[in-house]
Structure 1
Amino acid sequence: MVFCLIYAVVIFAATFFGAFVGLGGGVIIKPLLDLIGHDTIAVVNFISACAVFSMSITSTIKHIKAKTKIEFGIIIYLSIGAVAGGICGSKLFDYFLTLFNNSLLKSIQGLVLGILLVVSVIYVNTKNAKSFKLTRPVPIIIVGLTLGFIASFLGVGGGPINVAFLVLFFSMTVKEAAVYSVGTIFFSQLSKLITLGVTHTIPKFDVVTLIVAILCAALGGIVGAKMNKKVNEKVIQKIFTVIVTSVALVNFYNAIAGFIAR
């Protein structure tokens, strides 16, 4: 019961900021649940995927109802790539589970994610950073495939990495990228959950904890999307920077602790 309550608080806060500034939620949920250490890496990945998927649904619906300006062509092409990438990332994760123990794989994920988060923060905060404006389907699909693969393999929504890629390849502001990031996350997590179901690799989990996670994530997505509409670009960028930097530090701590535990 205590862990269920802790999970509820973590997941609501994570998905709120996920929808608010484009973090996705999983990038906060995964390292914090790893840090708590109550469940195996497979269960944490599954709960995170379900929570982020729930958040992406409610957040996207909220933006559509609020008539947020969205180029659905970009989301569709990104999502096509994200689905394929998500399946590949999930399969690679399952393969790595056969090669490494739970602690070592957790450390590898934490190290890779921490590095990617630091790079994302540096790029987003670099003034006049080089950016592109992709318009053709194939390059957009390749970007989506890369994002889907990273998100699925690392067991996170991929939000901060998505935001950095969207700013880089589509010349978006962080606030604009937040909306597209959540839309792309929907499809990458959908592909991950479908893959788990089809391959019968869904881990044993506590049903009550999963239900609480999904409900808290849905609520977090609604409230976060509402806040995204209310605040300006500068506020979103600052919050993005603080949270992503903090999460990167947690990932590095998890990685170091895991390597030492070996």
Structure 2
Amino acid sequence: MTFLFFIISFGASAVGAICGIGGGIIIKPVLDAAGVLPIAIINFLSGCTVLAMSLYSVGRSRLAGSLPVTRETGVPLAIGAAAGGVAGKLLFSAVQSSLPHPEEAGVVQAAVLLIITAATLVYTLRKDRIETKHLTGAALCLVVGLLLGVMSSFLGIGGGPINLVVLMYLFGMRTKEAAANSLFIILLSQLTNTILMVMTVDLTVVDAVLVVGMITAGLAGGAVGHRINAHIEERHVDMLFRGLLVVIMAICCYNVVHLMGA
């Protein structure tokens, strides 16, 4: 089972680096479906893997001088997302503590993720007929980033398709530009989220080999995905992204039914 976790981390991180979705949106629901670990531990493992992958992808792009993140838009978005990462973690803790059984929070996460993923798929299929906005202003970017951080942290996915749709619709970014900015946002929001989880999760029950292995696999997947992204056309990125959304929706449906019946 441990080796399977490594394979999932590698594949999810590779696809995440290509599409700019971080990989957590794949790792989180797949591990939920496996049903072998508590929700809090899955969130922690997914968060660590996504943080490592996004750090590698953003760092490599920055060193190569090919990171299309602007001070006017990308930086305030990421700062807002970092604050949102804290708020999202607190929101998840509040929802979890309000339920009779803590594991029921997984049903809420799966249901919300299903709705968001479905809305994202609809947008990507119709985006050529939807007029995009070109919003500006640091204050507005901070607010948008805050909301993105809250949602991604609450769902434990790092960012996922939410970032891409918002960046393309509100800021008129092309697919690859949105992917790069999304990874930068994921990096900061996941950093704050992971720090909070380290402070609140009982790490004595976490298998260190599993954590290190998933992070290593995530880094390797990020390296492969970064290389592929540099040589793939935007239309192929769009096709991969849409296919991935369908798979994620199917997994979320399974998780809602499975967790509700557990």
**Category of TM-score, reference length = shorter chain:** over 0.9
1:171-210 equivalence runs, <5 A: 171-198=172-199, 200-203=200-203, 204-210=205-211
TM-score, normalised on structure 1? 0.94
Runs of 4+ in 1 over 6 A off after TM superposition: none
1:145-184 equivalence runs, <5 A: 145-184=146-185
1:28-177 equivalence runs, <5 A: 28-73=26-71, 74-100=73-99, 101-126=101-126, 127-177=128-178
Report SS of the residue matched to 1:72: coil
Distance in structure 1 (CA, Å) of the matches to 2:122 and 2:65: 31
Report SS of the residue matched to 2:2: helix
Q: Which amino acid is the alignment partner of residue 65 of structure 1?
A: L
TM-score, normalised on structure 2? 0.94
Aligned residues, how many?
Answer: 258
1:8 matches 2:6? yes
How far apart are residue 139 of structure 1 and its match?
0.9
How far apart are residue 202 of structure 1 and its match?
4.5
**8 A Cα contact 1:46 1:202, kept in partner:** no
1:27 matches 2:29? no
1:251 matches 2:252? yes
How far apart are residue 59 of structure 1 and its match?
0.7
**8 A Cα contact 1:124 1:167, kept in partner:** no
What do the CA deviations read for 1:130-171 (whole angstroms, capped 9, x no partner)?
311122001111111011000100111122111011101111
When structure 1 is superposed on structure 2, of 61-70 and 26-35 the one drifting more is: 61-70
**8 A Cα contact 2:67 2:180, kept in partner:** no
Aligned-pair identity (%): 33
Distance in structure 2 (CA, Å) of the matches to 1:172 and 1:218: 26
Distance in structure 1 (CA, Å) of the matches to 2:69 and 2:39: 36
Distance in structure 1 (CA, Å) of the matches to 2:20 and 2:69: 16
Distance in structure 2 (CA, Å) of the matches to 1:12 and 1:162: 21
Q: Which amino acid is the alignment partner of residue 55 of structure 1?
A: M
Distance in structure 2 (CA, Å) of the matches to 1:164 and 1:202: 35
Distance in structure 1 (CA, Å) of the matches to 2:69 and 2:184: 11
Q: Which amino acid is the alignment partner of residue 66 of structure 1?
A: A
What do the CA deviations read for 1:18-46 (whole angstroms, capped 9, x no partner)?
11111210000000001111110000000
**8 A Cα contact 2:82 2:191, kept in partner:** yes
**8 A Cα contact 2:69 2:180, kept in partner:** no
**8 A Cα contact 1:49 1:156, kept in partner:** yes
Distance in structure 2 (CA, Å) of the matches to 1:48 and 1:194: 13
**8 A Cα contact 1:75 1:180, kept in partner:** yes
What do the CA deviations read for 1:157-199 (whole angstroms, capped 9, x no partner)?
122111011101111122221111111000010010122234x
Q: Which amino acid is the alignment partner of residue 256 of structure 2?
A: A
Distance in structure 2 (CA, Å) of the matches to 1:71 and 1:89: 24
Distance in structure 2 (CA, Å) of the matches to 1:5 and 1:37: 16
What is the CA RMSD across the aligned residues, in angstroms?
A: 1.3
When structure 1 is superposed on structure 2, of 76-85 and 252-261 the one drifting more is: 252-261
Distance in structure 2 (CA, Å) of the matches to 1:202 and 1:158: 24
**8 A Cα contact 2:96 2:103, kept in partner:** no
How far apart are residue 13 of structure 1 and its match?
0.3
Distance in structure 1 (CA, Å) of the matches to 2:219 and 2:63: 16
How far apart are residue 67 of structure 1 and its match?
2.8
Q: Which amino acid is the alignment partner of residue 31 of structure 1?
A: P
**8 A Cα contact 1:17 1:224, kept in partner:** yes
When structure 1 is superposed on structure 2, of 147-156 and 250-259 the one drifting more is: 250-259
Structure 1 gap segments, 5+ residues each? none
Q: Which amino acid is the alignment partner of residue 217 of structure 2?
A: C
